[in-house]
Amino acid sequence: MCDLGETNERHEQFMCSMSQTERQRLGRFRRPVDARRFVARRGLRREILARYTGFPPSELRFHDREMQRPALVRNPRTPDIRFSSASSGDLFLLAVACAMDIGVDVERLGAVGDVVACADRICTPAESAWLRSLPVEAWDDALCQLWTRKEALLKALGLGLSRPASTVDVRADRIVIAPPMADHPAPALCIIHSVDVPTGFRAHVAAITTGSEPVVQVYNGP
Ligand SMILES: CC(C)(COP(=O)(O)OP(=O)(O)OC[C@H]1O[C@@H](n2cnc3c(N)ncnc32)[C@H](O)[C@@H]1OP(=O)(O)O)[C@@H](O)C(=O)NCCC(=O)NCCS
């Protein structure tokens, strides 16, 4: 978990490590603040993944197709490191796993304007009923929790927006994932953990496992 605003003095260093594809995407940002955050996200991503792969940051290559799960380009010497990222303003989360699909999401409380309309769009009928059973003042927080659980799960599955969020119930911390929801041949287990983030935000990480129980560790700062 990193504050992108604290990396400003490293902007040039991060710029130097950017690939041609990253520079092309950078050129499409209209607001300088979005461009600065993008450079910081990509720089931190390289720096953190370099520690896990053992390669220098500038040597890492990525599959970065928009709206698709990003991945490291692997060669036989690269460990099977997978990752997922999310940001809200200057708050940046990078989740890293070995040989396990992973997804992370963070959202700011209050980011959803019309809570009822959003709930109708992203909740299953059972989630909507649960939400409506809560006092109105708890809805924003509850929806933010559901939202981040769903996006973490959809990112872990590599689905992003291609699957409607209203088709998966995420109230449980352990969810069995079976085809056709995922391309895993056998039913897999998705484990969802909340991540401690600063006041005013909610975040979750989801890991898809067919074997061992993932252990979640949260590191602060780059
Ligand atoms: C792309 C999406 C996965 C998340 O986008 P977002 O909330 O705008 O942005 P986040 O910061 O949470 O995540 C962005 C990261 O998701 C990753 N991502 C994009 N598509 C992905 C996919 N199909 N699978 C896994 N990860 C994906 C990318 O790494 C991206 O990082 P980058 O912008 O630095 O390249 C997608 O779900 C989306 O656009 N959601 C819009 C919000 C919404 O309607 N949510 C419904 C509530 S569940």
Structure tokens at 144: 């933010």
The dihedral formed by the CA atoms of 164, 22, 33 and 165, expressed in degrees to the nearest 10: 10
**158 within ligand 1 shell (Cβ under 6 A):** yes
**48 within ligand 1 shell (Cβ under 6 A):** no
**155 within ligand 1 shell (Cβ under 6 A):** yes
pLDDT at position 219 is: 82
Measured CA to CA, the distance from residue 181 to residue 196 in angstroms comes to 28
Longest dimension (CA), the chain: 54
Strand partners, 81: 98
**Tokens 């509850």 — which residue?**
142
pLDDT at position 62 is: 94
Please state whether 11 falls in left (phi above 0), alpha (psi between -120 and 50) or beta: alpha
**Residue among 95, 107, 87 nearest 41 (CA):** 87
**7 within ligand 1 shell (Cβ under 6 A):** no
Residue to mutate, 102, 106, 155, 157, ligand 1, most ligand atoms under 8 Å from C-beta:
155
Measured CA to CA, the distance from residue 34 to residue 141 in angstroms comes to 26
Measured CA to CA, the distance from residue 206 to residue 156 in angstroms comes to 6
pLDDT at position 171 is: 95
Number of H helices, E strands in the chain: 6, 9
Task: Say how many Å lie between the CA of residue 125 and the centre of ligand 1.
Answer: 24
pLDDT at position 185 is: 63
Domains and CATH numbers, the chain: 2-79 (3.90.470.20), 103-209 (3.90.470.20)
Structure tokens at 179: 């085809």
| Inter-axis angle of helices 125-132 and 115-122, nearest 10 | 150
Label residue 27 exposed, middle or buried (CB < 10 Å: 0-12, 13-18, 19+).
exposed
Closest ligand 1 atom, CA of 162?
23
List per-residue pLDDT tens for the chain, 222 residues long: 999 999 999 999 999 999 999 999 999 999 999 999 999 999 999 999 999 999 999 899 999 888 889 999 988 888 899 999 999 999 999 999 999 999 999 999 999 889 999 999 999 999 999 999 999 999 999 999 999 999 999 999 988 777 788 988 999 999 988 766 665 566 788 999 999 999 999 999 999 987 777 777 778 776
Residue to mutate, 67, 84, 204, ligand 1, most ligand atoms under 8 Å from C-beta:
67
pTM higher than 0.85, yes or no?
A: yes
pLDDT at position 213 is: 74
**Cα 108 to the chain's mean position, in Å?**
14
pLDDT at position 182 is: 61
